[in-house]
Structure 1
Amino acid sequence: MSKDATVYLLDVSRHMYAHPRAPGETSHLEKALFCIREQVQAKLIQGRKTDVICVILMGTQETHNYLALGDSEQYQHVSILFPDQFNLLAVPSLSLLEAIQKPESLEGQDECDVVDGLIIGLMTIDMFCRNLKYTKQIFLYTCAESAFVVDGSDEVIDRAKEMNVAVNVIGFNFGKPESSEIKRSTEQYLGQCMETTDGELWDGDEALALLQSLHTKNVRPATLFRGPLVLGDPQRYPTETLAIPIFMYNRTVEAKLPTAKKWSKVAPNQETVCMVRASQAYYSVHSDGLDGNLQPGDDRLERHEVIKGYKYGKTIVPFNTVDEEAFKLKTEKSFNIIGFISLDKVHRWMFMGSVASVMAEPGNLSASRSFYAFCRSLYQTQACALVRYVSRDSLAPKIGALIPRIDTGETYCLFVQLPFAEDCRDYSFISLRPLTEPTLGLPESNRVASVLNSSTSFDAHSVGSGVSKGTSVAGPPAKRMKFDARRCSDEEVRHRMDDFVDSMDLMNPPPSGSDGEAFKSQDVFNPVYQRLWQCIIARALNGPASEIPPVDARFMAGIKPLPELEERAKDASLKLSEAFNVKKVESKKSNTTKDVWMARARNANLPLLDGREGSVAPSESSVSSEKRRLAELTVAKVEKIGSITPAADFRAMCARRDKDCIPAAMEQMPQVILQLITNSADGEYYDKALEAIHEFRRGCIIESESDCFNAFLERLQTETLVKTRLHHRFWSGHVVPGGIGAITSDECPDCGAH
């Protein structure tokens, strides 16, 4: 996408706003300003820094241009409307958009000279662009009712052609038989200017209708991949390997909504808002701070003190940055063909993400010939190439398919990413085949199915083999499928469904019914995207306190059926609905937990919380037994102690009553504690290990397992102070100050220590 330099020339003379018109009809000036506003808003939405514009008014009361400085009497009543720049083009801004909002503030004098405006517009482009590569255009809005100076006018056209400036004319009431001689002369000159510079001529009302339609943001195409398409193994068979230089571009990609910057409500000067910057902090969280709120013991950590950990069950497996680089796949940028498969083997549900276009390297004749032969072979054999794609070095490889496309004058391939086994999500749907089988010869009362009362599952549906439609069935009536609500024969149902589909055909939409297609992707706009920009523009122009405008009806029209299409399909839709006995089923209110417990209380003849129903109060023994049962239900069924919450897991295992997990807990807890200490690169898990030791000691006292804890404490001292001194800080800085010692006989009568 090239850089654009655009000048808008607007005739603001009296002929543009005081012309005869019907009551309520907008003037030429209002229509022209609307068109310019739409073009400026489109450029503001695109936000390209290489898109520069300028608005020049012709026929103003005052004169404000760089060619009329001093005592010069030429180029009068021409003004450059741009607050930020006086003599050059600039990026579109909100101030310019606000300046062209009110037509009455721009109304000028009786006449204007379009040639003067063209000269100033060409000079403005020439002074800004110089020898730089720009797409240069002038849009001239006028009714051509004013005379112009003929001398030198042809040189202006020649200069525009020399500068490669396309002059586009948007005329109001052009080509009318009753036009004056001056108007016909001006129209003839502008037509010559337009044809010579390869511009376009638009009627004012036609341009207005075109700009009122929705538009998309033009995105500059950027290559996703530049390199060779390799067929073969260049390392093992370098002479037999085929490498075709290719370029790959995005064909379809999801348009993201613009991100909103975060600003403060009021800046320090109490007048304007200011931009804010978010910062991130890390804290060590203790068990009592798992809810996210900081606790007194939570310590702030620096960024380099934080490492990543992956969950493996309930265990956290840590990896530092060096480990992450080590387990990454070492890949190189490539686009290699793995093999070829038939097109019918690539199903639509396999397509992942965006679609890209692959073509031969531009300007490379040898690559174009090779790639054309490659695409032609795939197209003729109805096959596609399976490729391995790595966009940059060290990135994850992707697998995809190259599907050939041979259009008029174009030969290229579409690249679609295919899923790996881990990406597939299989779901087995129950077969609907019984719904397509002929209806048995059952009475009307049996043939009308009730969706609400039928409890027959899909698998329970059966049709007797060898029974033809329209014959009677001996014995009990055959079971019908739960959703089989047909009221007429299978043949009639299919016929009515075909009629309904044909009536909703989008290839020949009403009312014209001419050849064409409705709801093409390029004609259907995202309502969320369009609505967001509608609100942004309205708030920018009307101020922060303005109300949000109502939703434009055009936004929703693209995702709703055409009214004419609904009218055409009305009869077919009615006949299709009459073919089935389908009724709306009111959803039943589901019983809440409160309702369930109230029902149980009534059945047990117990008094409710509000004193209703029941005369027998529960005894203390029954209440205590209910509490015990409730406690057993709420205890988590923990089988193994993990490294995330070891203290809570140990406590849950010791509290289980359905299974004796105490021996397993006593065996696992020491191992988990030592693992936390060992995996602490800089003491980040010390607090969690210390908490686990406290819980382990308390549990050993309750369960009379003092020997188990004392043996662990001796082992811990040996591991941290004797075998390795990497974690001696844990013993000296946590265990000793924490007063953790061996369990004595005073604490546990069965203990042998004193």
Structure 2
Amino acid sequence: MADKQATIFVLDLANSMGKVDIANEFNKSDLDFALEYVFDKIGTKIIGARKTDFVGVIGVSTPETDNVMANELDYAHISTLLPLKQVLLPDFRMLQQRLLPSKPGNEGDLVSALLIALFLIEQHCQKLKYIKQITLLSNCEYATNFLEMDQIVKRIADLEVSVVIMTLGDEITSDVKRDNLQKLSDFAAKAREYGAQIECVSYAREVLIEMDIPTVRTIRPTASFRGLLSIGDPFEELYQDGLIQIPVERYACIKLAKAPNTTAYKSDTNSQIGRKIVYKVELDSDEDPNGDGKIEIEVEKDKLTKGFRYGNTVIPFDNDELELLRFPTRPGIDIIGFVALAGVKPWILMSETAYIVASSKSEEAQIALSSFIRAMREQGLAAIARYVSKVDNPPVMVLLFPDPEILDTERDILLEVEVPFAEDVRSYKFPSLSLIKTTHGKILTQHHHLPTTDMVANMRAFVNAMDISSLTESGLPSDQPNNGREFAAPGQLFDPINAAINRAIIQRGLNPDSSIDNVISVEPGKEYSLAPLLRQTRPPKKLVDLASDLADHLVDSLNVQKVSKYATNKRKFRQAGIEELQSSARTDKHDLKMLLNSGNKRLKLDRIDQAKELDQADKIDLDTFDLKSEIRRWGQRSLSSDPDTLDKVFDRAAAHIEQLLDQIDSPPLPEHESAVHDQLRIELQALQGQSKELDEESWWNSFYIRLSDRLQMSGSLGISVLDKIKKDLQIPD
């Protein structure tokens, strides 16, 4: 059970609170700012739905007087708008209707309202343990009675109430406000003498930014397991003398916080709906009204039988047999053995984390577990254990190790993380980034698929420049050690999806007809509205600017090139690109050349069957690749030490293939087709053989796919030549 809380908001509703200052860049009144803060805090409490979280609201300078001390003149124009209770959505909307600026002359006393709030807290909480807080919001534009300040501070200290006085308005516009602010400052200073918690803050940009930070729900620790931690074999009677068992408790350390789920309901009645599962079986029948020989029959749930799929067949098992398959276990944490903590691989830590502490009811258990943990810490060991939460629950293998952040003077704690079984591990093999082993067993340390020394150096410099472990407030690396803070540290980031849903619920609850487009950025373009929960999911802009030159060097060394939208080996996407170009050509025939020549588009296609109506002058260039440049670039990478082979094979092949493809684009003749095929076959066979010798078959496969796309786009002659080449080179479809 979480700690009980009692929070009262004392809100100034004077006429001056509703005025909008011309110099205010946000075009909002002080009351608008105050309501933003109050509704944000109350809405968060409604989302939490805790029955032990009580909220009250007191309005100052209201037209009427409605409070427990209404008979006394000093408490006029003060109303208890919401008594301390669990706030619900109807209360939320009621406050929206009543929290409005009052007319001039209805000013109430802020200190008197504070005394009423203290009385309500005292009456509600009595002597019970509560977290008590009063938040007072006002622009302090009218006179306030600060007499008997010592008695008020002493009462705040006795009740153990935390008081936050939030002043609104950036400028001091009158002597009255200046005098009130000075008295409030003295009020807070005197509180320190009595040990009272009174804080005066100014409602500024920092408060607005703080409102964008989601509130993390505080959860009272609840033990998920209470049992024995066994060191030894608890199942073998022969070893019972050497068995050590320590009573322990298990608490959640890291647990997934899920976003709120939607609930189906009938909109016109606003009532939730239930679900009913209907089971049906399909049988063969001659009486089927649909004429397909099948009929569906509804089956009762108690007539269903469970089973396991075995190939295409379901093997049935009744409930008694399934009970026999259940693994018999008993609850407990049984240590199997110990391993070196330094040798534990991070990738095996696959689950939520839990704390293991000694039982709070046994001093002997605390001493025993403390000794065990300190021995593990001194030896640098971790324990492999078998954890069962309840009787006959499936066993789980866990890793237990001391918390490295707990000092020796604090309570000793074990951390528990689930580790995988053999069936959970996916043993994928990935190519090495330091060497390549050919099919003939040759080891290559220099290859165009391997990073060069220059690439590694540039990448190392870029990674070091993007280090976010120690940054200053401006987002730049700290010059001095321990002078910065870690940016986006694990455990300090907020889930943007969860936060956005909660904010949308609050906004729609307060304004049912409002749009939720601005749940992330309150006012785009304003500095304060850049939500911190999104800022920490991106690197700091100043750090990115600082590393931009290194990023450019890295891009150059890695030869990074932009991939066009349809640059893919899958022909269905290539066809989509062609159709898009045809559509563009039909839409604006005269601007086609300018559109296609804006990039690096060398390969031309003269005829497209679906666009015969286009003028011959408007030939369509495809965003594909330059054959000659591609072949020569590959040859230079693979044969940089053999220029003779480069000249004889690759230069000749590149030039001849380019000429042959140009001929294919020309009007074909029967004898022309045969000649083109023979010459193209010779060149491609030479390239295919050379790629096999150099263990570059992957390049050849990619090259051939793009070449076949090129031939298919060249009309009937290109398709005919491609069919013959497939047979000659023995390439499957």
TM-score interval, smaller chain? 0.5 to 0.7
Please tell me the residue identity of whatever aligns with 1:219: I
Please tell me the residue identity of whatever aligns with 2:368: S
Cα distance 1:240–1:542, how it changes in 2: closer, same or farther (>3 A)? same
Instruction: Report the CA distance between 1:259 and its aligned residue.
Output: 1.2
Please tell me the residue identity of whatever aligns with 2:557: A
Q: Which of 125, 134, 140 is equivalent to 2:136?
A: 140
Query: Hey, what does 1:211 align to over in structure 2?
Result: 211
Q: Does 1:564 align with 2:542?
A: yes
SS at match of 2:112: helix
**Correspondences of 1:24-43 after superposition (within 5 Å):** 24=25, 26-43=28-45
Query: Hey, what does 1:511 align to over in structure 2?
Result: 476
- Which whole-Å CA distance do the structure 2 matches of 1:56 and 1:545 have between them? 27
Cα distance 1:281–1:59, how it changes in 2: closer, same or farther (>3 A)? same
Query: Hey, what does 2:167 align to over in structure 1?
Result: 171
Please tell me the residue identity of whatever aligns with 2:279: Y
**Correspondences of 1:624-643 after superposition (within 5 Å):** none
Q: Does 1:391 align with 2:401?
A: no
- Which whole-Å CA distance do the structure 1 matches of 2:457 and 2:352 have between them? 38
Instruction: Report the CA distance between 1:46 and its aligned residue.
Output: 1.9
Cα distance 1:109–1:249, how it changes in 2: closer, same or farther (>3 A)? farther
Query: Hey, what does 1:226 align to over in structure 2?
Result: 226
Instruction: Report the CA distance between 1:305 and its aligned residue.
Output: 1.3
**Correspondences of 1:726-737 after superposition (within 5 Å):** none
Query: Hey, what does 1:283 align to over in structure 2?
Result: 280
- Which whole-Å CA distance do the structure 1 matches of 2:571 and 2:212 have between them? 54
For the 8 Å contact 2:64–2:78, the answer to whether it is kept is yes
Deviations 1:642-675 (A, max 9, x none): xxxxxxxxxxxxxxxxxxxxxxxxxxxxxxxxxx
- Which whole-Å CA distance do the structure 2 matches of 1:571 and 1:170 have between them? 46
Instruction: Report the CA distance between 1:17 and its aligned residue.
Output: 4.7
Instruction: Report the CA distance between 1:562 and its aligned residue.
Output: 1.8
Instruction: Report the CA distance between 1:397 and its aligned residue.
Output: 0.8
- Which whole-Å CA distance do the structure 2 matches of 1:226 and 1:108 have between them? 63
Identity %: 26
For the 8 Å contact 2:13–2:102, the answer to whether it is kept is yes
> Could you state the TM-score of these two structures normalised by the residue count of structure 1?
0.65
Please tell me the residue identity of whatever aligns with 1:6: T
For the 8 Å contact 2:3–2:131, the answer to whether it is kept is yes
Cα distance 1:498–1:107, how it changes in 2: closer, same or farther (>3 A)? farther
**Correspondences of 1:28-177 after superposition (within 5 Å):** 28-68=30-70, 72-82=72-82, 87-93=83-89, 95-96=91-92, 99-100=95-96, 104-105=100-101, 109=105, 111-149=107-145, 154-172=150-168
- Which whole-Å CA distance do the structure 1 matches of 2:234 and 2:519 have between them? 62
Instruction: Report the CA distance between 1:172 and its aligned residue.
Output: 4.2
- Which whole-Å CA distance do the structure 2 matches of 1:377 and 1:538 have between them? 54
Please tell me the residue identity of whatever aligns with 1:539: R
Please tell me the residue identity of whatever aligns with 2:221: P
Cα distance 1:522–1:344, how it changes in 2: closer, same or farther (>3 A)? closer
Query: Hey, what does 1:366 align to over in structure 2?
Result: 364
For the 8 Å contact 2:15–2:102, the answer to whether it is kept is no
Cα distance 1:108–1:12, how it changes in 2: closer, same or farther (>3 A)? farther
Instruction: Report the CA distance between 1:571 and its aligned residue.
Output: 0.8
Instruction: Report the CA distance between 1:280 and its aligned residue.
Output: 0.7
Instruction: Find the structure with the greater CA-based Rg.
Output: 1
Instruction: Report the CA distance between 1:418 and its aligned residue.
Output: 0.6
> Could you state the TM-score of these two structures normalised by the residue count of structure 2?
0.67
Instruction: Report the CA distance between 1:147 and its aligned residue.
Output: 4.2
Instruction: Report the CA distance between 1:460 and its aligned residue.
Output: 7.2
- Which whole-Å CA distance do the structure 2 matches of 1:35 and 1:223 have between them? 35
Instruction: Report the CA distance between 1:193 and its aligned residue.
Output: 4.5
What is the RMSD computed on CA atoms of the aligned residues?
Answer: 3.5
SS at match of 2:435: helix
- Which whole-Å CA distance do the structure 2 matches of 1:493 and 1:59 have between them? 70
- Which whole-Å CA distance do the structure 2 matches of 1:102 and 1:425 have between them? 61
Deviations 1:543-590 (A, max 9, x none): 257464364353533322221121011011111122123434553453
Q: Does 1:340 align with 2:338?
A: yes
- Which whole-Å CA distance do the structure 2 matches of 1:233 and 1:464 have between them? 52
Instruction: Report the CA distance between 1:464 and its aligned residue.
Output: 7.2
- Which whole-Å CA distance do the structure 2 matches of 1:366 and 1:199 have between them? 43
Instruction: Return 5+ residue gaps in structure 1 as ranges.
Output: 268-272, 436-456, 466-479, 596-754
Of 552-561 and 416-425, the range deviating more from structure 2? 552-561
SS at match of 1:403: strand
Query: Hey, what does 1:255 align to over in structure 2?
Result: 257
Instruction: Report the CA distance between 1:506 and its aligned residue.
Output: 0.6
- Which whole-Å CA distance do the structure 2 matches of 1:350 and 1:516 have between them? 29
For the 8 Å contact 1:353–1:417, the answer to whether it is kept is yes
Cα distance 1:507–1:210, how it changes in 2: closer, same or farther (>3 A)? same
- Which whole-Å CA distance do the structure 2 matches of 1:246 and 1:298 have between them? 56
- Which whole-Å CA distance do the structure 2 matches of 1:377 and 1:53 have between them? 49
For the 8 Å contact 1:254–1:354, the answer to whether it is kept is yes
Instruction: Report the CA distance between 1:325 and its aligned residue.
Output: 2.1
Query: Hey, what does 2:316 align to over in structure 1?
Result: 318
Query: Hey, what does 1:610 align to over in structure 2?
Result: none
- Which whole-Å CA distance do the structure 2 matches of 1:107 and 1:221 have between them? 49
For the 8 Å contact 2:285–2:295, the answer to whether it is kept is no
Q: Does 1:418 align with 2:419?
A: yes
**Correspondences of 1:415-564 after superposition (within 5 Å):** 415-434=416-435, 462=442, 481=447, 483-484=449-450, 490-509=452-471, 510-511=475-476, 513=478, 514-544=483-513, 546=515, 548-549=517-518, 551-552=520-521, 553-554=530-531, 555-564=533-542
Instruction: Report the CA distance between 1:307 and its aligned residue.
Output: 2.0
Q: Which of 555, 559, 562 is equivalent to 1:577?
A: 555
Q: Does 1:274 align with 2:266?
A: no
Query: Hey, what does 2:725 align to over in structure 1?
Result: none
For the 8 Å contact 2:503–2:519, the answer to whether it is kept is no
Deviations 1:592-651 (A, max 9, x none): 69x9xxxxxxxxxxxxxxxxxxxxxxxxxxxxxxxxxxxxxxxxxxxxxxxxxxxxxxxx
For the 8 Å contact 1:21–1:27, the answer to whether it is kept is no
